Homo-oligomer: A and B are copies of this chain.
Amino acid sequence: MALLRVTAACGARGASIDDYLDATELSRPTIYRLLKGLREEGFLRPSPVRHRYLLGYELLVLGAEAGNGASLRDLSRPRLLKLAQSLGDSFYLFAHDGRHAVCLEVQNGAYPVGSFVASIGGRVLLGAGQASIALLASLEPDERDWILAANRDELADRYDIAIDAVEAEIERCREHGYARGVEGSSLPEFTGLALPLLDHSRRCLGAMSCSMLKSRMTPTHREAVLTAMSEQIDELVSQAHGLLRTEP
Whole-angstrom CA separation of A11 from B246 in the bound complex: 13
Known contacts A65-B55, A66-B55; is A60 also within 8 Å of B102 by CB? yes
Asked if A88 is an interface residue, CB under 8 A from chain B, the answer is no
Asked if A189 is an interface residue, CB under 8 A from chain B, the answer is no
Q: Which residues of B contact A122 (CB under 8 A)?
A: 61
Asked if A222 is an interface residue, CB under 8 A from chain B, the answer is no
Report, as a range, how many residues of chain A touch the other chain. Answer: 35 or more
- Is the pair A121, B64 in contact by a Cβ cutoff of 8 Å? yes
6 A–B contacts, CB within 8 A, in A order: A8-B65, A8-B66, A12-B247, A57-B67, A62-B63, A63-B63
Q: Out of B41, B59, B247, B248, name the residue touching A62 (CB < 8 Å).
A: B59
Asked if A229 is an interface residue, CB under 8 A from chain B, the answer is no
Whole-angstrom CA separation of A95 from B120 in the bound complex: 20
- Identify the stretch in A68-76, A145-153, A155-163, A173-181 within 8 Å (CB) of chain B at 4 or more residues: A68-76
Residues on A close to B: CB < 8 A?
1, 4-5, 8, 11-13, 41, 43, 45, 48, 54-71, 81, 95, 97, 102, 104, 119-123, 203, 244, 247-248
Q: Which residues of B contact A123 (CB under 8 A)?
A: 57
- Is the pair B62, A13 in contact by a Cβ cutoff of 8 Å? no
Closest to A55 in B: B66
- Is the pair B4, A62 in contact by a Cβ cutoff of 8 Å? yes
